[in-house]
Amino acid sequence: MLVFSLLYDLRDSIQGTIFFQYQSFIKKFLVEGRISSAMHYHCSYVSLKKFRGNVRFEKVTVSFLHQYETWLRNRNISKTTIGMYLRPLRTIFNEAIEDDIIKREKFYPFGRRRYIIPASKNTKKALDLTDVKKIYYYKCDPTNDSE
Mean pLDDT of 48-55: 91
Mean pLDDT of 51-76: 94
Do the beta carbons of residue 80 and residue 120 sit within 8 Å?
yes
Spatial separation of the C-alpha atoms in residues 12 and 55, rounded to whole Å: 9
Length of the chain: 147
Q: Is the dihedral of CA 104, 109, 110, 114 positive or negative?
A: positive
Mean pLDDT of 113-130: 84
pLDDT for 81 beyond 90? yes
Domains of the chain: 2-136 (1.10.150)
pTM of the model: 0.74
Do the beta carbons of residue 95 and residue 20 sit within 8 Å?
no
Say which DSSP state 110 is in. Answer: B
The whole-number pLDDT of residue 131 equals 84
The whole-number pLDDT of residue 145 equals 58
pLDDT for 61 beyond 90? yes
pLDDT for 1 beyond 50? no
The whole-number pLDDT of residue 120 equals 74
The whole-number pLDDT of residue 37 equals 92
